[in-house]
Amino acid sequence: QSALTQPASVSGSPGQSITISCTGTSSDVGSYNLVSWYQQHPGKAPKLMIYEVTKRPSGVSDRFSGSKSDNTASLTISGLQAEDEADYYCCSYAGTRTWVFGGGTKLVVL
Amino acid sequence: EVQLVESGGGLIQPGGSLRLSCAASGFTVSGSYMSWVRQAPGKGLEWVSVIYMGGSTDHADSVKGRFTISRDNSKNTLYLQMNSLRVEDTAVYYCARILAWGMDVWGQGTTVSVSS
């Protein structure tokens, strides 16, 4: 149950687009289209932003989108806004009835 | 309103036990997959345990044999029994509902501190 690999931080200016990667293995990300993404502001509970790789829950802005290629999933945020500054975590079903999170990425809006 | 409210956290000595509770409203825990996720101070999220609709359970290797997830359908409440606690179990513990393989509803978290 090794954690998925995410960059420690990414940054972008308002209006720009950024992409956060999430690399796993053929046993988790590569085997299942069951990757989800979470946004977490300081001191707050995580919020679901993307599930099943590409789907957005009701109420989540369409500026957030997800994709996957082989063992790597990605979260793209377009039209970056100040309120997007937060920590982002990916999560994948890892088989054998377990889940695994990524180490988290701090998004800085310049 | 769909909501989860955790309780039961606190300061405990290494080797001790603690039971966390997560009261659900707006939906039934028995009709959902439910999970516990923890976050150590300044660290990332770590999946801990899951209970399925049928009642079967699974736990992360880091807590297997020490933690047990369960639920009380009559109280619509999820539990996490934590035994043989270690310093490294210090974290904020969140309960979450799993829907369509995403954790769509989260509680506010309860803090567990393991220290002598």
Please write the tens of the pLDDT for every residue from A42-76. 999 999 999 999 999 999 999 999 999 999 999 99
Q: Give the tokens for residue B3.
A: 């909501």
pLDDT, tens only, B63-99: 999 999 999 999 999 999 999 999 999 999 999 999 9
- Whether residues B100 and A50 touch (CB distance < 8 A) is answered with no
Q: Distance (Å) from the C-alpha of residue A49 to the closest C-alpha of chain B? A: 9
Q: Is some CB atom of chain A closer than 8 A to the CB atom of B69?
A: no
Q: What is the pLDDT of residue B101?
A: 86
Whether pLDDT at A96 is above 90? no
Order of strands across the sheet with A18-23? A18-23, A72-77, A64-69
Taking any CB pair shorter than 8 Å as contact, residues of chain A touching chain B are 1, 3, 34, 36, 38, 40, 45-48, 50-52, 55, 57, 87, 89, 91, 93, 96-104
Q: What is the pLDDT of residue A108?
A: 97
Q: How sure is the predictor about A95, in pLDDT bands with cuts at 50, 70 and 90?
A: confident
Q: Distance (Å) from the C-alpha of residue A51 to the closest C-alpha of chain B? A: 5
Q: How sure is the predictor about B48, in pLDDT bands with cuts at 50, 70 and 90?
A: very high
Whether pLDDT at A9 is above 90? yes
HEC secondary structure over chain B:
CCEEEEECCEEECCCCCEEEEEEEECCCHHHCEEEEEEECCCCCEEEEEEECCCCCEEECCCCCCCEEEEEECCCCEEEEEECCCCHHHCEEEEEEEEECCEEEEECCCEEEEECC
Q: Give the tokens for residue B43.
A: 């660290």
Q: Rounded CA gap, A52 and B25, in Å?
A: 25
Mutate to test the interface with B, among A31, A40, A48, A88 (most CBs of B within 10 A): A48
Average pLDDT over residues B29-56: 96
In whole numbers, what is the pLDDT of chain A averaged over residues? 95
Q: Rounded CA gap, B94 and A31, in Å?
A: 27
Q: How sure is the predictor about A100, in pLDDT bands with cuts at 50, 70 and 90?
A: very high
Whether pLDDT at A91 is above 80? yes
Whether pLDDT at A107 is above 80? yes
Among A55, A99, A101, the residue with its CB nearest the CB of B44 is A101
Contacts of A57 in chain B (CB under 8 A): 102, 104
- Whether residues A91 and B44 touch (CB distance < 8 A) is answered with no
